[in-house]
Structure 1
Amino acid sequence: MATKSKKRRFKTKVVLIFDLILIILALGIGYYFVMASKMQVDKSADSSIVTNVLDDKDMKGYRNIGIFGVDSRDNALKSDTHSDTIVIVSINRKTKDVKLASIYRDTYSLIPNDDNAFNKINAAYFKGGYSLALSTINTNFDLDVKDFVTVNFDAVCKVIDLLGGVSLDITPEELKYVNGYTKELNKINGTKVGKLKHAGTQVVNGTHATAYARIRYTKGDDFKRAERQRIVIQKIFEKAKKADIKTLNSILNEILPKIYTNIDSVEMLSLAKDILSYNITDQTGFPYEKRAFTYHRVSYVFPVDLTANVTKLHQFLYGTTDYAPTEKVKEISAKLKEITDNN
């Protein structure tokens, strides 16, 4: 009888422990959804996102997200603001490897649903918000990006500050521009961050790191700026993976209200559960082969042979070695060749 009584008590304890674990999990998930509800989630234009006719079987193993950093002096997120940062984040669903591809903001592109006019690619977000921006990316580069996240200057600054800063190598040439943009960011964000005193490798705060990512007037111009933006993204990612729960909680509290996205709470949870498994393995700027010149009194970046650039982009993102661009991309490529041949 004593043995049966002990067995019953043991079973009761197991059930209680199991119930406790379920309650803790439920509370944790509930807390997450309360936190995630602070995001500005907008799916209203999802149905109008254009994707080109695709023939890249390797793409199916990846999730692609468009990251937009908007150039808004009042930290607006949704439209009427140019996307000065455009990064395609490609996540390998199996290996969790992540690749980053910056799209140069001045890239001369077909803007669909805008009388099929050509313009700088960053104008798409200004004209039609996230839907037109993603449609433009998909149409010109044969991609199927349907998810996006938009952030503003203030959000980036705060996240880096909460992580305790990030280490950057600031050149003497970059130093004066970092300090110049720091002054501008102070006005935008209502802060009083001082100047950096010297160049070199150093841990910088959020304002200085964001200022660094905005520099475009050094050797390399906008191409170098896109590289700086990818460096800052990678530094944030690496630091966040090592952060403790308290820090991550503070970051969520601070950044979620400043995020505009069409990824809802359930989808975000699916992404977040694998965060420690993600590794940024490679990064690049696009287009690869390019020319920058003034056309109709405006400075643009022109892909040299868009079809070849798109094939190379698919190889970078998905490992596809024989991708053949669609007829739409070939049509756009012919238009660009006509312009570049005459300039």
Structure 2
Amino acid sequence: MNRKKKKRRLKRKVLLFIDLMLLLIVIGFGYFIYITGKTQLDTSGDESIVTNSIDSEEIGGYRNIAIFGVDSRDNALEKSTHSDTIVIASINRKTKDIKLASIYRDTYADIPGEGFDKINAAYFKGGYPMALNTINTNFDLDVKEYLTVNFNAVCKVIDLLGGITLDITDEELKYVNGYTKELNKINGTNVGKLESAGTQLVNGTHATAYARIRYTAGGDFKRAERQRLVIQKIFEKAKKADIITINSIVNEIFPQIYTNLDSMDMLGLAKDILSYNIVDETGFPFENVAEYYNKISYVFPVDLAANVTKLHQFLFEDEAYVPSNKVQETSAKILEITGKK
């Protein structure tokens, strides 16, 4: 009799444990849906996005997400603001390796329905659908997902992570302090200036100011490099953050994210967060020339077709990629303007 009682008690305990675990899973899933639901979800333009059947699927599958950092003095996220940060994050679905490719904001590109302009004007003119279409048609990519963030969101996420370590040069110092003043006005903050150059832990405002510098040697090319570095630093600290910090970031930052990634999309990304590693980064176009055309300064790919081939080699390790007819036509038009052969 005692043995039967013990077995029944053990069975009840096991069932209770299973019930509790299921309850925790349900609560956890529900909470995840709740917090991811705080983002500014916009899928209204998804059906108009031009997609390409590219090598990324054929060679194992990649998830390509565009990250837009908008240059908005009032922290707006939708169109009528230039995307001065354009980064393609390509995730290898098998290895979980991530590669980052910055597209220089002044890159001369054919904006669908608008004609040639700086690529950052696509977001200004038509929001995320036009920006993604410009990326896909000019570079033979298949980017359907995007995340848009503003100055305030970047500042706050870095602050919540406890800052990041950057090596600030003497040349960069005055620009960091100059942009800090501007960010204070935009975000309603009162962050003081950095007192000296060197390797140091900086807060969100100083890090964002650093990522905006474009007037040192290297100009916008160097700025894009700084932006990729800041993204890497944020990613590295976020992977090591505790649950309380992550919860704070989610509650503070998610309402400031504009995206077409819904809760299930984010769950698909979040479940592998500890497996992801940023393994390489670059700027695009690789071969370029900065010149004036019609009294406006552009970054011209030299030549576009060759750059696109190299981009597919970098992102997808496809050594034999041949650009589409559309890319080759666009490449020929740009070569006519620049005279570069």
TM range (shorter): over 0.9
Q: How high is the TM-score relative to the length of structure 2?
A: 0.98
**Contact 1:54–1:326 under 8 Å retained in 2:** no
Distance 1:21 1:84 in 2: 46
**Runs of 4+, deviation exceeding 6 Å:** none
**Contact 2:56–2:62 under 8 Å retained in 1:** no
> Is structure 2 residue 222 aligned with structure 1 residue 224?
yes
> Is structure 2 residue 184 aligned with structure 1 residue 174?
no
Aligned pair count reads 341
How far 1:270 moved relative to its partner? 1.0
Q: CA 1:339–1:248 in structure 2 vs 1: closer, same or farther (change >3 Å)?
A: same
**1:254 corresponds to:** 252
Distance 1:339 1:200 in 2: 43
Of 262, 265, 276, the residue aligned with 1:267 is: 265
**Contact 1:58–1:318 under 8 Å retained in 2:** no
Which aligned pairs between 1:35-50 and structure 2 lie closer than 5 A? 35-50=35-50
> Is structure 2 residue 31 aligned with structure 1 residue 31?
yes
How far 1:141 moved relative to its partner? 0.3
Matched residue type, 2:43: K
Which aligned pairs between 1:232-243 and structure 2 lie closer than 5 A? 232-243=230-241
How far 1:145 moved relative to its partner? 0.1
Matched residue type, 2:246: L
**1:298 corresponds to:** 296
Q: CA 1:342–1:319 in structure 2 vs 1: closer, same or farther (change >3 Å)?
A: closer
1:287-321, CA deviations, whole angstroms, 9 ceiling, x for partnerless residues? 00000000000000000011111011001101111
**Contact 2:55–2:318 under 8 Å retained in 1:** no
Distance 1:245 1:332 in 2: 48
**1:194 corresponds to:** 192
How far 1:55 moved relative to its partner? 5.0
Distance 2:71 2:269 in 1: 27
How far 1:113 moved relative to its partner? 2.5
Matched residue type, 2:137: T
Q: CA 1:200–1:130 in structure 2 vs 1: closer, same or farther (change >3 Å)?
A: same
Which aligned pairs between 1:29-108 and structure 2 lie closer than 5 A? 29-52=29-52, 54=54, 57-58=57-58, 61-108=61-108
1:3-47, CA deviations, whole angstroms, 9 ceiling, x for partnerless residues? 222222211111110110010111111111111111000111000
How far 1:60 moved relative to its partner? 5.2
Distance 1:91 1:336 in 2: 30
Distance 1:132 1:2 in 2: 73
Q: CA 1:57–1:321 in structure 2 vs 1: closer, same or farther (change >3 Å)?
A: farther
Distance 1:15 1:286 in 2: 57
Of 259, 274, 277, the residue aligned with 1:276 is: 274
1:189-236, CA deviations, whole angstroms, 9 ceiling, x for partnerless residues? 000000000000000000000000000000000000000000000000
Alignment gaps of 5+ in structure 2: none
- Higher mean C-alpha displacement, 3-12 vs 326-335: 3-12
**1:151 corresponds to:** 149
**Contact 1:56–1:323 under 8 Å retained in 2:** no
How far 1:52 moved relative to its partner? 4.0
Distance 1:99 1:342 in 2: 29
**2:136 corresponds to:** 138
**Contact 1:80–1:129 under 8 Å retained in 2:** yes
- Higher mean C-alpha displacement, 194-203 vs 48-57: 48-57
Alignment gaps of 5+ in structure 1: none
**Contact 2:66–2:147 under 8 Å retained in 1:** yes
**1:325 corresponds to:** 323
Matched residue type, 1:267: D
Distance 1:124 1:59 in 2: 30
Q: CA 1:189–1:290 in structure 2 vs 1: closer, same or farther (change >3 Å)?
A: same
Q: What value does the CA root-mean-square deviation take over the aligned residues?
A: 1.2
